[in-house]
Amino acid sequence: MKAKIHKELLATSALAMLLTLLFSMLAFYGIFKEQVFADLRADAMLLKSMHVFEKPETLCPDSYELEPDKLRITVIAAEGAVLFDTNAAAGSMESHEDRPEVREAFLQGEGSKSRRSKTLDKKLFYYAVDLGNGSVLRISREARSFLAVALDLLPMAVAAVLLLLPVCLVFASYFTKSLMRPIEQMAETLSEPDAAVVYKEFVPFMTTIRRQHEDILKNAALRQEFTANVSHELKTPLTAISGYAQLIEHGMAGEENIARFAGEIHKNSKRLLSLINDILQLSRLDEKNQEPDYTAVDLYRLSEDCLCQLEMVARRQGVTIRLSGKSAVIRADRHLMEELLYNLCDNAIRYNNQGGLVKVTVSETAGQVCLSVQDSGIGIPKEHQMRVFERFYRVDKSRSRATGGTGLGLAIVKHIAAQHGAEVFLESEEGKGTEIRVVFYRK
């Protein structure tokens, strides 16, 4: 970027120099023309005041023959006939009635023009003045073209460019550093929200960058915390499995304990598998390039299937499960909806009381479908209700581990709901139970 700005400043400087030289030459040429016309007018007025050309028949053209770059003197009659000319035979010349400087002199007393002479085939500066006797005195001199003047000025222009070029290099370098310094300072103070932004045009850009930077840091912290939690959660069942296996391996477990130790190994293995499955599911949900496979899904029929799967689990827990409502079809990923329902119902059974009830309700109103999972379990204290959807967050860690909970179920539910544009609402009272509603909005 710095090199590009430096090059563009140099290119701008070079263009500015060329344009300045061009306009200077044009201005100089304009001044040059004005000076030539001023000199011609002074000469014409002087000759008029001498009254020498009022009787052109008495003049001898040869005595006034001038160099091509000197004055040319012509006397023209009212009807346009040339009465006298110092550089051509007057009798052989065509009528000058149509010459603009001559017409202007007859009408206004004086006239001037720069044009190409038909007689001499050269570009001349003309100045004509009315002699007051029905004729016009016109004097002229050869005109130098703009190109000729520019060529004369070219050595001086080249010298000026060579002198200004090092100056442009120095200033381009200085201004490049001056422009880049605030940007470099912004890069250094990226993590400082109160740092001033020199260029106001960069304020939206820096706001976005800082927000993204904060998001990156936050995500990095979350990943680090997640990794630490995963390591800890995996370590607990693995330690238990390893410990019980070593006791059996070294014969330290009596015959009466082998079955119990094997049961503990089995229970911790199941917990470990559940934890790994939930972690994999969250990883898949976190993949931004993985789009859900949307199809028509009947939430009521899906809830029936889910409760059938959990019937045996609920019986072992002494919990009654009940489904109410009616058929309601939404556009959703069937596999993810099964995962959402299973986690909600499994949690409702897991954290319920002996003889408790889990009620699943599917309802439909204008523009939305609501899935409600309500239990009569232990409930969630108010201070924990805002955090239960966080990964690995547990209200009662000892009970969660005893029941085999991973602390990821509600995090998965919230993630799936967000992918489907749904909202999750929680209502709970400690000791009385919890209701979680997932509201799907029709588009």
pLDDT of residue 16: 79
Structure tokens at 120: 């001499």
AA identity, residue 386: M
Section 378-405 average pLDDT: 70
Place of tokens 């003309």: 126
Mean pLDDT across the chain, nearest whole number? Answer: 80
Distances, alpha carbon 158 to alpha carbons 155, 165, 263, 426, in Å: 5, 10, 97, 82
pLDDT of residue 85: 85
Using an 8 Å Cβ cutoff, are 311 and 319 in contact? no
State the pLDDT confidence band at 30, using cuts at 50, 70 and 90.
Answer: confident
Round to whole Å and give the CA distance between 298 and 301.
6
Residue 436, beta-bridge partner list: 373, 426
pLDDT of residue 406: 62
Local structure of residue 443 (DSSP, 8 states): -
Distances, alpha carbon 104 to alpha carbons 6, 45, 109, in Å: 56, 16, 7
The alpha carbon of 380 is separated from its chain's Cα centroid by a whole number of angstroms, namely 46
AA identity, residue 92: S
AA identity, residue 292: P
- pLDDT higher for 402 or 395? 395
pLDDT of residue 290: 63
Range in 15-24, 94-103, 230-239 with the lowest mean pLDDT: 230-239
Using an 8 Å Cβ cutoff, are 328 and 300 in contact? yes
Reply yes or no on whether the pLDDT at 68 is more than 50: no
pLDDT of residue 172: 74
| Residue of 387, 394, 383, 301 whose CA lies nearest to 347 | 394
Ramachandran category for residue 121: left, alpha or beta (phi over 0 → left; psi -120 to 50 → alpha): left
Which SS3 state, helix, strand or coil, does residue 363 take?
Answer: strand
Using an 8 Å Cβ cutoff, are 416 and 285 in contact? yes
Reply yes or no on whether the pLDDT at 280 is more than 80: no
AA identity, residue 347: N
Structure tokens at 381: 């204290």
Give pTM, 2 decimals. Answer: 0.49
Structure tokens at 270: 């199941």
